[in-house]
Amino acid sequence: MGKVTGFMEYERIEEGYEPVAKRVKTYKEFVIGLSDEQAKVQGARCMDCGTPFCNSGCPVNNIIPDFNDLVYQGDWKNAIEVLHSTNNFPDFTGRVCPAPCEAACTLNINDDAVGIKSIEHAIIDKAWEQGWVKPQPATVKTGKKIAVVGSGPAGMAAAQQLARVGHAVTVFEKNDTIGGLLRFGIPDFKFDKSHIDRRVKQMEAEGVVFKTNVMVGELPKDSKVTNWAKETVSPAQLQKEFDAVVLAGGAEQSRDLPVPGRDLDGVHFAMEFLPMQNRINAGGKIKDQIRADGKHVIVIGGGDTGSDCVGTSNRHGAASVTQFEVMPQPPEQENKPLVWPYWPLKLRTSSSHEEGCAREFAVSTKEFMGKNGKVTGLKTVHVELKDGKFVEIPGTEKEYKADLVLLAMGFVSPVATILDAFGVGKDARGNAKAGTDFQGGYLTSAPKVFAAGDIRRGQSLVVWAIREGRQAARAVDEFLMGSSTLPR
Ligand SMILES: Cc1cc2nc3c(=O)[nH]c(=O)nc-3n(C[C@H](O)[C@H](O)[C@H](O)COP(=O)(O)OP(=O)(O)OC[C@H]3O[C@@H](n4cnc5c(N)ncnc54)[C@H](O)[C@@H]3O)c2cc1C
Ligand code: SF4
């Protein structure tokens, strides 16, 4: 433990943000990381608890008290060693993780949690700056060939782990660049894509082969899932040519809102809108970009994806942005003695909300209205939850003006045709069915086919995808070699 009395002496320091007026003019990241001195003070606040709840609150089980102490001591080099021992990509999580570790921090019971995520961010940025992040190619090759389908955080983590123990890994990606939803989904102002590019270089130096614009299997004809593939490979071909296949294709099927007027022009899935802007920021060309300039935008769905639509619409120059959430407004503060160390339900105001957005809770959309085939507004009603069902409250009907409606109500499942083509069994929600047991975990019902990340657990978080990619890699290694030195 760094400083025995640190938690009593120092207060939590938040990372800074560029002012709203400046940041909404660009798509650049605007979080200002901690200085070395601030990170040291933050590390000194850690109490090195006998039972570190933060460690089990973190899905990759980062060894948080150890790196907090090392940062306090100024030993950044060992801090990155500790961090990388459990997390392949702290540069991703240090930026976009919602930090369930901090909800579980013991200090959070009656004070403010240690700023764990900001320390993680500071460690990995320092490590890249100092040139400490290097490829770790395997010294002995196994001669085994593994195909990874999908290059999001789950596929990347699985591929990196497998390459480091000597397997020949090929990653197939239907889009034109690597990264999954980190690349085409999460806006650049939250996560700059150069963080993925340098990891791809590292992984190529470790022997991973990336094949982009390649679709494994087929999407249904009317699918609105992002797809820039130029060639197709059949699942049967992969199963024949490779010793094992890891499915890491995410859960890309957006939840729809089939109410009257859904087919009006101007009503789109969030995942039609957001990837276009990512692609344009990368210098790509998009015919008929969905734009929010001067429009009254309604975002349906109160989660992260909805919030990203808010931030992007404001950067386009929307006339107004309103976000609907069907659930009632949560409390401003959680009841800590009741919920700690778990992730609490409370009102969360994102940096995008702060940039300008009206928020409506307990609202259900009944109909989209339009003129000449274009959306002009929508009809809503307030709802309340009764016996687990939403019930309309009479007399609360309302009309809103809208020129652009973005549907951000989450994702139902992976695309079924891909799982079917591999002969992979599904769970009740349509996800790839595979357990996470210590032995035999991540293996699906199809021979030598494994599944990890959102495709197995449903739409989740980057940090869970990294965990599953790492664990699936160990399962594949054990399956092929009889035992494994990879950590779980
Ligand atoms: C808009 C948005 C914002 C989000 N914000 C956050 C956030 O702030 N923090 C957070 O932790 N999480 C966030 N998430 C969730 C997070 O991005 C996902 O949980 C995570 O990316 C899942 O990783 P994955 O590797 O399982 O799948 P994905 O990231 O979905 O990657 C799957 C990849 O597989 C490819 N693929 C699929 N099928 C095939 C096929 N048949 N052939 C070839 N390629 C294929 C896809 O093109 C894609 O590139 C957000 C999600 C969205 C949509
Ligand atoms: S990965 Fe997320 S949960 Fe884990 S230590 Fe980092 S911020 Fe916390």
pLDDT of residue 27: 98
pLDDT of residue 8: 93
Residue whose CA lies nearest to ligand 2 atom number 2: 99
- Which stretches within 206-303 are classed as H helix? 235-241, 270-281
**Measured over all CA atoms, what is the biggest interatomic distance in the chain, rounded to whole angstroms?**
71
Which three-class secondary structure state does DSSP give residue 390? strand
pLDDT of residue 195: 98
CA 384/CA 11 separation, integer angstroms:
40
pLDDT of residue 440: 78
pLDDT of residue 488: 78
Residues with C-beta less than 6 Å from any ligand 2 atom = 58, 60, 62, 64, 87, 93, 97, 99-101, 116-117, 120, 463
How far apart, in Å, are the Cα atoms of 166 and each of 232, 311, 324, 390?
Answer: 27, 42, 49, 53
pLDDT of residue 29: 98
pLDDT of residue 34: 98
pLDDT of residue 5: 93
Comparing CA positions, the residue from 204, 88, 57 lying closest to residue 473 is 88
Q: How far, in whole angstroms, is CA 380 from its chain's centroid?
A: 30
Please identify, by atom number, the ligand 2 atom nearest to the C-alpha of residue 61.
4
pLDDT of residue 221: 87
CA 360/CA 400 separation, integer angstroms:
12
Please give the distance, rounded to the nearest whole angstrom, from the Cα atom of residue 205 to the centre of ligand 1: 24
pLDDT digits (tens, 9 = 90+) for 31-57: 999 999 999 999 999 999 999 999 999
Which stretches of the chain score pLDDT less than 50?
Answer: none
Please identify, by atom number, the ligand 2 atom nearest to the C-alpha of residue 102.
8
- Which of 233, 462, 464, 471 gets mutated to test ligand 1 (max ligand atoms within 8 A of its CB)? 462
